[in-house]
Amino acid sequence: MGGYQFLHIKSFSRKADAEGRTVDFVLAEAARRADACQHVETPAAPDVLFGQPVEDVRILHDARLAEARTTNKDGKSRKLRVDQHTLMTVVLSHPATVAEMRDSTAVAADVQAWEERSVAWLRAIWGETLVSVVRHTDEAHCHLHAFIVPDGPEMRARLLHPGIAAKDREKEAALAEGADAKTANARGDVAYKAALRAMQDDFWCSVGLPSGLARLGPARRRLTRSEWRTEQAAALATAHALQTAEEAKQTAEAAVRDAAMIEEAATARSSAAADLEARARAAAQRASGMVTTAREQAAAAQAAADEAEARRLEAERQARLASTRARTIMEQARAEARRVVGAARQEAAQVVQGARRMGAWFGAVWHGLRGASPAAAARKAAGEARAAERKLVHTCITSVEAEADRLRDRLRATEDRLASISGSTAALSAERDRLARELARLSPPSRPAAPVPTPRLP
């Protein structure tokens, strides 16, 4: 939560002080009487955390006041003067706002723990004279009012004030040592401040520090914002450590109590308890056997899982090898197709060149036979030219068909190999279809023999 502690202590009499406050006014303001709490926008009745309600504190105070007596210098007893302090109050405030408490269960729990430690500290300091501790939640911050009523015959509340009591003791000691009144008063002031400082330190160690509160606020020490946040963080860390230590202490105490109970039970153990212990041992042995079996089963399951994982990895490796082989086969098929296409193109070029040579040969024959019958020579030359062209074309087609047959054989072998590879069927089928289309494109269609051009006779 963070923040710093607030503790204010003051005593009151029936006579108004410099601020107009009396015992009656202080109790009325704490009880939220309408004429005494005009500073509160919406007054609400206080919650009693310890002791009596505020109105009962008033009754107790007045009853003790009626019986109280003081003795003057002449030894005569008389009632108390109206300016004698007969009530002391302690105001404690937590830095958390009431709104934060309502909105956060964590803050509310922290404030509740702070309240419990505060009440314990008050009771440790003032004992039976602490008659009431109430909580106010109708102002911005949750705060406590503690009321201390003296139980001595003279109801001297100032003697219950740590600072005033220390000052009075120091002044008396100084005067007894021969100091003048001014020196004695100065020494008393020093003792007053030291006593209040010690009280604040004790409250911080017992209440503030476990709640993560700083001893002093940043303004009094002129701390920067960063320094103040660092101190808040340190206070919270210390509070957490103290809480952890307290929990550890409680755990240890509980363990000691449990150990004592176990030892007591062991000491007073009967035969029935011994039988129960034997049965417990047997059950423990059975449980141990079951644990061993379970461990063995777990080990077997782990081994099976490891073997399955190894098989899976091997299958993946084989699939990768098959994929690599398939890619190799496809590359070889593509290369073979390119070779067949090149060979076909080369043979086609050879046919064209043969036709050209045939034309040249025909011309030579023609010129050689000019002396013969022109018509017979022309027919003979044309027939020979057609026969030669048919022979060349037949040779080309036969070569292409043989190459196509070889490519078909390789395609069938490729299909057989692809059929044995799992996981690649679709890709290999597509490649097979592509190769078939490529083969169909390469196969030369049957066409009639090209007519031999009839030479023109001169």
**Each residue of 7-61: pLDDT tens digit?**
999 999 999 999 999 999 999 999 999 888 888 888 999 999 999 999 999 999 9
- 344: Cα separation from own chain's centroid: 73
Specify the pLDDT at position 229: 53
Taking only the tens place, the pLDDT of each residue in 58-116 is 999 999 999 998 887 777 888 899 999 999 999 998 988 899 989 999 999 999 999 99
**The predicted structure's pLDDT at residue 130:** 97
Contact 208, 214 (CB under 8 A): yes
With beta carbons less than 8 A apart as the criterion, state whether 390 and 354 touch. no
Q: What is the mean pLDDT of residues 376-383?
A: 68
Q: When comparing pLDDT for 234 and 396, which is higher?
A: 396
Tell me the CA distances in angstroms from 374 to 95, 216, 369, one per residue in order.
135, 140, 8
Domain parsing of the chain, residue ranges: 6-69+81-215, 291-442
pLDDT at 266 over 70: no
Which residue do the tokens 């201390």 mark? 148
CATH 3.30.930 fits 6-69+81-215, yes or no: yes
pTM of the model: 0.50
User: Please, which pLDDT band fits residue 122 given cuts at 50, 70 and 90?
Assistant: very high
Confidence of residue 364 (pLDDT cuts 50, 70, 90): low
Mean pLDDT of 337-358: 70
Residue 260 pLDDT exceeds 90: no
DSSP-derived pairing of the beta strands 6-13 and 85-97: antiparallel
Tens of pLDDT, residue by residue over 140-183, are: 888 999 999 998 888 999 999 999 999 999 999 999 999 999 99
The pLDDT assigned to 302 comes to: 76
Q: What is the mean pLDDT of residues 421-430?
A: 61
Please check the confidence at residue 325 and state whether its pLDDT lies above 70: yes
Q: How far is CA 288 from CA 232, 279, 299, in A?
A: 52, 14, 16
- Residue 144 CB burial class (10 angstroms; 0-12, 13-18, ≥19): buried
Quickly list DSSP for 306-363. Answer: HHHHHHHHHHHHHHHHHHHHHHHHHHHHHHHHHHHHHHHHHHHHHHHHHHHHHHHHHH
Q: Tell me, what's the pLDDT at 358?
A: 63
- Where residue 454 falls among pLDDT bands split at 50, 70, 90? very low
Does the structure show a pLDDT above 50 at 320? yes
Predicted confidence at residue 247, as pLDDT, reads 58
Predicted pLDDT at 234: 47
pLDDT at 306 over 80: no
C-beta separation of 425 from 319 below 8 A: no
449 vs 96, higher pLDDT: 96
Residues 6+ apart with CB under 8 A from 49: 115, 119, 133, 134, 135, 144
Q: Please name which of 286, 167, 170, 206 lies closest in space to residue 5, comparing C-alpha atoms.
A: 206
Percentage of the chain modeled with pLDDT above 90: 33
What pLDDT does residue 109 have?
A: 92
Radius of gyration of the chain (CA): 58
Confidence (pLDDT) at 326 = 65
Cβ atoms 174, 183 nearer than 8 A: yes
pLDDT-based confidence at 299, cuts 50/70/90?
Answer: confident
pLDDT at 374 over 70: no
